[in-house]
Structure 1
């Protein structure tokens, strides 16, 4: 009986203990709920910034961050800026006076302002898309200047980092926010990136580069003035400013980039982070690309830090004209026929890097062409080019036929090069000014085609009545690499002359045969007069000066080059006619030679016959 009673007492005690623990758990749960409800109602703390302060300007971007993190805070009077942001601002704080601009960060630093805009607060400027300067040479929307004289910082915060910032400041977020933060960070769907410090416009870099980037900027400005004549001599750009640029990342790809290149939940001086991991003096990291940066400008102007001092005047049409007058385009010769030759159209090229593609065709004309080089006005063609390395610009093609007078006369007196000079200028003026590119180059010349007459070969050509004409075969060798001759056509040859100081020989051209493989012609010349064979003395040749003009048809054009060639024509001597025979007159005695006598004591030599005079005029031999 006692045993049963003890068990009953123990059972009742155990039940009471469990009931008491459950009551305590319920009480703890209710207490936690009340605490969490209190934190929901009081987190984040209420905002107490003026509308012109930095703290107020940052509210929208961090409110957007809490929505993406799933914190669901409906009270718009809360201060959504994390408490540790003061470390990010250097000598400034959240109450610093600022101005915001209704334009993304990239557009702000490319925007073209007029004098009235400069006098207004940035949030009162009516920004227009047509006044945002365009440049393909800069991919980043801005450059950072972590100068030692300026405070520059970088901050990144995901959802967990956002909550930790409040905990570090002694403000506890509600419990549910931590669960939501872990879920969102796992998906990498929300991060705030902010940069503070001194910002420099890429336009300053472009205008000071003095290379193809400056050329592109000048050309784009020229086009801007042409479309906005009222902005001529009235254009300015925001060269630099101190402030904050901030943006929200909502895609996993962008969050991966910022985490890999900068880090997550960092709040460090920019010089240390950017110089070490991104690049000295410039945010050339892909994490900083894009134009979706909100721009906040410190407006605590005082001393040398004035609003007007942040702007610089953009080059005027006169400044642009002077810039291009100092440009020296790259001169390029044609690969196939670089030399200037007679009769053939010559082509050379000039390239200017940085000229936009839409400012090439039908944009330029040729002017002020130096006389004495071309036969008439050469032509100009402009076309865009882009190399494999991304370099782009305009290629100017100049074509013209050289003056034939530059290739006349002896080879020794022909010019080895010709100086060409002209101006490539814009077709239309802007503000009364033209873009002008001066060209002054020397082009090598060639006397090709050159015709050289070889020594002729003499022969006899049989004619009627057993008479013979004299024939010579010559070879005309050509040098025409720089100006090829069309050897499929026979050349026209005239002014064929063979003479010496005291006489002239009448000759005619009887044949011309081209040899394209050897680059030569075979020319046959014959005498007009004919001679009997017995009167031709080819052992005593007399030299005559041979000359002719050879008209060579160009293979590259319809032009013909006249080349005088000279050589030696060796003419045989002609034997004189024999003297006429003398006959006896009637009544005159005929003298008959006496026969030789044979001396006594001598015998006749059988090898030397005795000539006996014959009255009929013939001599007969005898022993």
Structure 2
């Protein structure tokens, strides 16, 4: 005997719940055959009654199934044949089955389920399952708890309605047993996920690829349970789990379902996050020529279909870093490719490689996949960073390069299945720019003498250089030193050795310093005649604000002494 005390409206009430009281009236005799829905439900509701101390033991010929269930089902529970499995319907609808398992019964111990995590861990799945409309099959949700059960027993003992309600409130607060039932035609979300061709589809395809790689016997033979007629029961003896169950269903179970005001054919959708301690799923096996067991299953995409899924370029988005949208000569250009739905295990540089690079787009051996990481601000999205130096042939006209360059490559998975890989193809025309464009005075730059060692001198020039750099801003950090290569000083068709350096001044201006390599003795040489012109040619590496450099060829007109000749009078005063 359990004594239950409660206070309602200031009145202290006490009732005794006697497990075997009026069992004949509350739980009439009935005999359900093995394998029927009645037999299965009788066991589940009997356990619930014991947990609530409504009975001491389950008697095999007593009917513990609430009459509301029979009213909803509108069928004789003793005649409905079912197959049962000890998992909830949400999990069952996400397992991977072999082709031959489509003809097997879905009973505990008759087959091995695999791949649950492969299909269940889909981010932001719309729902774990839906109960779809079917006028020929009952759809309902039924829930109960100890409050409902004790209320029933109390009324059976003849207690007043106030006392029964008080007991029910007190037991409802304890919640030491709860049970819910979903009944209807259960529809897997996988068909919708596969058809959506969105981030969830992508995630499923990656998970399937990994599943096939680890389970090659499933390749071309993998199926999932698309739908079935039946019901699923969840039972818990945890008060916390019951509250979670109640919030999951989204209605006040004790009150709303007791009135049975639900349309039996209503379409129900649920996010089944409740993790009860005891699950049973019952599948109606009333199969015939129109409703076959095989028709419950749908085939999962095979490896060729997974590869084909990743072919459309619409699957991903592309972007560039701020000032790096345009391709410039000599400047490494980076492309950001973002793909939604990539599982964490695939967001790894070691999982991918760059292949099928168009050699016309990039300088040889410069294109590479340099990084793979989670897209900033987006979960389950991978950012692939591809970098390469554009082919210089597209910039043969230094001030008017080609308007765009066709860039194509593939990002290929390292893990192959049957010598096949996932490939994410990229092909796009990317615009180019001539910026930064060096601006140098057209007038010949005057020379000066620069003192060297051992009483000798060199010829030198100081050349201010500005840039047109709106599309590719230059880095004007004071002290920047830029490389100057391919130096050539041509005087009247004769090449003369020279050296050059490009540096940014403290004021943030670039200046090119050119110096001859030949030295002349100060006391023996002087200038005779007028200066002539020389041509200085080189390639400068211009530092960019975005990082890296842009290589630009330059031509500069320089003044050069007409004649340097020995003389008795040293021209020392004019030397720096």
Asked whether the two chains share a fold, i.e. TM above 0.5, the reply is yes
Alignment of 1:307 onto 2:293: yes
In the TM superposition, residue 89 of structure 1 has moved relative to its aligned partner by: 1.5
Structure 1 contact 473–525 (Cα < 8 Å) conserved: no
In the TM superposition, residue 97 of structure 1 has moved relative to its aligned partner by: 1.3
Gaps of 5+ in 2: 1-15, 451-457, 563-576
Distance 1:569 1:130 in 2: 83
Question: TM (normalized to structure 2)?
Answer: 0.75
More helix by share: 1
Distance 1:145 1:353 in 2: 29
1:217 to 204, 207, 221: 204
Distance 1:519 1:271 in 2: 80
| Matched residue, 1:385 | 374
| Matched residue, 2:510 | 520
In the TM superposition, residue 336 of structure 1 has moved relative to its aligned partner by: 5.0
Structure 2 contact 462–511 (Cα < 8 Å) conserved: no
CA RMSD, aligned part only? 4.3
In the TM superposition, residue 60 of structure 1 has moved relative to its aligned partner by: 2.6
Structure 2 contact 52–150 (Cα < 8 Å) conserved: no
In the TM superposition, residue 417 of structure 1 has moved relative to its aligned partner by: 2.2
Alignment of 1:118 onto 2:107: no
CA, structure 1 residues 357+563, in 2 after alignment: closer, same or farther (shift >3 Å)?
same
Cα distance per residue 1:491-525 (max 9 Å; x no partner): 468333466xxxx8999979977344443215579
Structure 1 contact 458–470 (Cα < 8 Å) conserved: no
Determine which structure has more spread, i.e. the larger CA radius of gyration. Answer: 1
Structure 1 contact 370–420 (Cα < 8 Å) conserved: yes
CA, structure 1 residues 531+240, in 2 after alignment: closer, same or farther (shift >3 Å)?
same
| Matched residue, 1:155 | 142
Equivalent positions of 1:58-457 (< 5 A) are 58-77=41-60, 78-90=62-74, 93=77, 95-123=79-107, 125-128=109-112, 130-132=114-116, 133-137=119-123, 138=125, 140-146=127-133, 150-162=137-149, 172=156, 183-256=170-243, 261-265=250-254, 266=257, 281-284=268-271, 293-328=279-314, 329-361=316-348, 362-377=350-365, 378-381=367-370, 383-385=372-374, 388=377, 391-412=379-400, 414-456=401-443
Distance 1:335 1:149 in 2: 60
- Range moving further from structure 2, 98-107 or 289-298: 289-298
| Matched residue, 2:539 | 551
Distance 1:149 1:289 in 2: 30
Distance 1:245 1:201 in 2: 14
CA, structure 1 residues 571+399, in 2 after alignment: closer, same or farther (shift >3 Å)?
same
Alignment of 1:487 onto 2:467: no
Structure 2 contact 97–113 (Cα < 8 Å) conserved: no
Cα distance per residue 1:444-492 (max 9 Å; x no partner): 33334432211548779799xxxxx999864222346456588335746
Structure 1 contact 105–245 (Cα < 8 Å) conserved: yes
CA, structure 1 residues 82+373, in 2 after alignment: closer, same or farther (shift >3 Å)?
same
Distance 1:384 1:492 in 2: 37
What's the secondary structure of 1:67's corresponding residue?
helix
Distance 1:451 1:386 in 2: 37
CA, structure 1 residues 384+270, in 2 after alignment: closer, same or farther (shift >3 Å)?
farther
Distance 2:253 2:234 in 1: 15
Question: TM (normalized to structure 1)?
Answer: 0.70
Gaps of 5+ in 1: 1-32, 464-468, 537-541, 573-623
CA, structure 1 residues 546+37, in 2 after alignment: closer, same or farther (shift >3 Å)?
closer
CA, structure 1 residues 445+231, in 2 after alignment: closer, same or farther (shift >3 Å)?
same
Distance 1:213 1:460 in 2: 69
Structure 2 contact 236–276 (Cα < 8 Å) conserved: no
In the TM superposition, residue 332 of structure 1 has moved relative to its aligned partner by: 1.7
CA, structure 1 residues 143+36, in 2 after alignment: closer, same or farther (shift >3 Å)?
closer
Distance 2:282 2:130 in 1: 15
What's the secondary structure of 1:58's corresponding residue?
helix
What's the secondary structure of 1:213's corresponding residue?
helix
1:561 to 539, 547, 551: 551
In the TM superposition, residue 54 of structure 1 has moved relative to its aligned partner by: 0.9
**Would you say how many aligned residue pairs link Structure 1 and Structure 2?**
512
Cα distance per residue 1:83-136 (max 9 Å; x no partner): 221122245645311111133332211111113322221115545464323323
What's the secondary structure of 1:478's corresponding residue?
strand
Cα distance per residue 1:230-288 (max 9 Å; x no partner): 1111111110111111112433344445556212230578975998xxxx7521476x6
- Range moving further from structure 2, 328-337 or 515-524: 515-524
Distance 2:449 2:304 in 1: 83
In the TM superposition, residue 403 of structure 1 has moved relative to its aligned partner by: 2.8
Structure 1 contact 363–426 (Cα < 8 Å) conserved: yes
